[in-house]
Amino acid sequence: MIYDRILIRYGEISTKGRNRNKFIDKLRKSVRLTLSDFPNAVIESDRDRMYVLLNGEDGNEVASRLKKVFGIQSFSLAIKVEKDLEKMKAAALNLFSRLYREGQTFKITAKRSDKKFELDTNEINHEFGGHLLKNIPGLMVDVRNPDINLQIEVRSEAVYLSAETIPGAAGLPVGSSGKAMLMLSGGIDSPVAGYLSMKRGLDVEGVHFFSPPFTSDRARQKVIDLSKKLAEIGGQFTLHIVPFTEIQQSIHKQVPANYTMTTTRRLMLQITDRLREKHGGLAIITGESLGQVASQTLESMYAINEVTSTPIIRPLITMDKTDIMGIAREIETLEISNLPYEDCCTVFVPSSPKTKPKLEKVQHFESFFDFEPLIEKAVNNTETLTINPGMEQSLLEDDLF
Ligand code: ATP
Ligand code: MG
């Protein structure tokens, strides 16, 4: 590996005033988590920059992890050099020679935050450009569209050499906006909703309802696999798995068939809200998209939402399915979501759910039965898993081999 470090540029964080340190701390935490299996990597940060010192770890692999971390505007593999002109020139030539392939063009882009340095940016460009031209026969300058853009950044503490600026995932560092519970099904939409929420800095915990034996272990594993993808993005992911069989059976006994879907969703929301309270969240996220299915009409949302005043975040509400699928493909959840294992809602889905349920009616139907003890029991028996990005065992792998 030519490079000894990765230089990370902050995104929107850099516009934060007094909260800046808090944001930088969260970003540091995200970077540390995604790089937890690179034990030699050391993270350093200051007000303007973060550095990952590679200490022998593979820079390209570290870079591919960093691409997914929110709060990073861009980053570059870099070399730190002492602020000594001769040493800088030697290092620049060494780096350049290792990147250069015959026939390629180049330019130098100098930046100087240390105004006391002996050369200004123009002089750096000339000095280093000349040095490379003199030492590499046939090398040509192209300032508009160079194959290699060697960046020389002179800062107060040292000089950094790099040749490529890689775009980061932008957004805000995970956790900088507080915590919310994501209602995570095995479908296409909810993982995307989770991803978009994480991108705006939310610390997201998943809540999944499952109904054994009507839903299988494979359906459960599917949600764990989706969580793993979200863990790759957030560094770690907590998944709460709620046993829902008894409640679904009671709903089907108590509520007329065309209202079971509405009541089911109301109970899911209530349980998610209890878990939210228990784990210190301030909002609930769903993958709902307006008009997509019976439960996602405005009338349905109105009847379902009535059980809580907790803010419900619906990142996909105005998005088209094809756009949602595009994001799912990008974050590599689509393939998992498309696996055919049944979800608790599909197993119990009535043949004709009300698309325009009336709130008074659903309240009336629910009034004949006390769901409270069942809600409490479900919350108490909820299983909580901590999912790490590197965790093995997955359905896709199962299917392949
Ligand atoms: P998805 O693709 O996310 O499953 P969907 O288009 O299938 O969404 P619904 O089945 O109506 O739509 O679900 C709407 C939302 O309700 C989901 O996006 C998810 O947030 C939540 N939800 C549905 N089923 C479950 C479940 N078994 N556990 C947790 N949340 C669920
Ligand atoms: Mg679904």
Q: Please list the residues that pair with 205 across neighbouring strands.
A: 181, 238
Q: Average pLDDT, whole number, for the chain?
A: 91
Distance CA 247, CA 250 (A): 5
**63 vs 21 pLDDT, higher one:** 63
Assess if residue 87 is contained within a domain: yes
**What is the CATH classification number for the domain harbouring 333?**
3.40.50.620
Residue 225 CB–ligand 1 contact under 6 Å: no
Directed axis angle between helix 217-234 and helix 20-34, to 10°? 130
Same domain, 325 and 391: yes
Q: Which residues contact 157 (CB under 8 A, 6 or more apart)?
A: none
Assess if residue 189 is contained within a domain: yes
Same domain, 151 and 229: no
Q: Given 167, 198, 213, which residue is the final one in a domain?
A: 167
Q: Is the dihedral of CA 177, 183, 184, 188 positive or negative?
A: negative
Task: Give the per-residue pLDDT at 303.
Answer: 96
Q: Which residues contact 230 (CB under 8 A, 6 or more apart)?
A: 191, 194, 195, 198, 204, 206, 237, 387
Atom 31 in ligand 1: residue holding the nearest Cα: 185
Same domain, 153 and 64: yes
**184 C-alpha to ligand 2 centroid (Å):** 9
3-state secondary structure of 385: strand
- Written as six digits, the tokens of 338 are 């498309």
**331 C-alpha to ligand 1 centroid (Å):** 18
Same domain, 228 and 276: yes
3-state secondary structure of 179: strand
Q: State which ligand 1 atom lies nearest to the alpha carbon of 285.
A: 20
Same domain, 361 and 316: yes
Ligand nearest to the CA of 191: 1
Assess if residue 173 is contained within a domain: no
Same domain, 360 and 259: yes
Atom 4 in ligand 1: residue holding the nearest Cα: 187
**What is the CATH classification number for the domain harbouring 115?**
3.30.2130.30
> Where does the pLDDT of residue 20 fall: very low under 50, low under 70, confident under 90, or very high at 90 and above?
confident
Distance CA 102, CA 107 (A): 15
Task: Give the per-residue pLDDT at 14.
Answer: 61
Q: Given 117, 144, 167, which residue is the final one in a domain?
A: 167
Testing ligand 1's pocket by substitution, the residue of 182, 189, 339 carrying the most ligand atoms inside 8 A of its CB is 189
Q: Is the pLDDT of residue 18 over 80?
A: no
Assess if residue 263 is contained within a domain: yes
Distance CA 262, CA 353 (A): 8
Same domain, 71 and 127: yes
Q: Is the pLDDT of residue 1 over 70?
A: no
Task: Give the per-residue pLDDT at 285.
Answer: 98
User: 328-344 pLDDT, tens per residue?
Assistant: 999 999 999 998 877 66
Query: pLDDT above 70 covers what percent of the chain?
Result: 93
Q: Is the pLDDT of residue 170 over 70?
A: yes
Same domain, 118 and 205: no
User: 216-235 pLDDT, tens per residue?
Assistant: 889 999 999 999 999 988 77
Assess if residue 174 is contained within a domain: no
Task: Give the per-residue pLDDT at 22.
Answer: 87
Q: What is the DSSP string of 268-282?
A: HHHHHHHHHHHTT--
- Written as six digits, the tokens of 371 are 């769901």
Omega prior to 213 cis, within 30 of 0: yes
Same domain, 264 and 309: yes
Q: State which ligand 1 atom lies nearest to the alpha carbon of 210.
A: 27
**400 C-alpha to ligand 2 centroid (Å):** 25
The alpha helices in 200-244, defined as continuous H runs, are 217-234
User: 349-388 pLDDT, tens per residue?
Assistant: 677 788 899 999 999 999 999 999 999 999 999 999 999 8
- Written as six digits, the tokens of 168 are 């980061």
Annotated binding site for ATP: 183-184, 208-209, 265, 287, 296
Other CB atoms within 10 A of residue 236 CB: 19
User: 74-107 pLDDT, tens per residue?
Assistant: 999 999 999 999 999 999 999 999 999 999 999 9
Same domain, 12 and 115: yes
Residue 345 CB–ligand 1 contact under 6 Å: yes
Residue 287 CB–ligand 1 contact under 6 Å: yes
Task: Give the per-residue pLDDT at 15.
Answer: 66
Same domain, 286 and 366: yes
Cα 315 off chain centre by:
14
Task: Give the per-residue pLDDT at 345.
Answer: 61
Q: State which ligand 1 atom lies nearest to the alpha carbon of 207.
A: 29
Same domain, 38 and 132: yes
Q: State which ligand 1 atom lies nearest to the alpha carbon of 188.
A: 2
Q: Is the pLDDT of residue 30 over 50?
A: yes
Q: Please tell me the total count of domains within the chain.
A: 2
Q: Is the pLDDT of residue 297 over 70?
A: yes
Range of the domain at 39: 5-167
Q: Given 167, 200, 227, which residue is the final one in a domain?
A: 167
pTM: 0.82
> Where does the pLDDT of residue 142 fall: very low under 50, low under 70, confident under 90, or very high at 90 and above?
very high
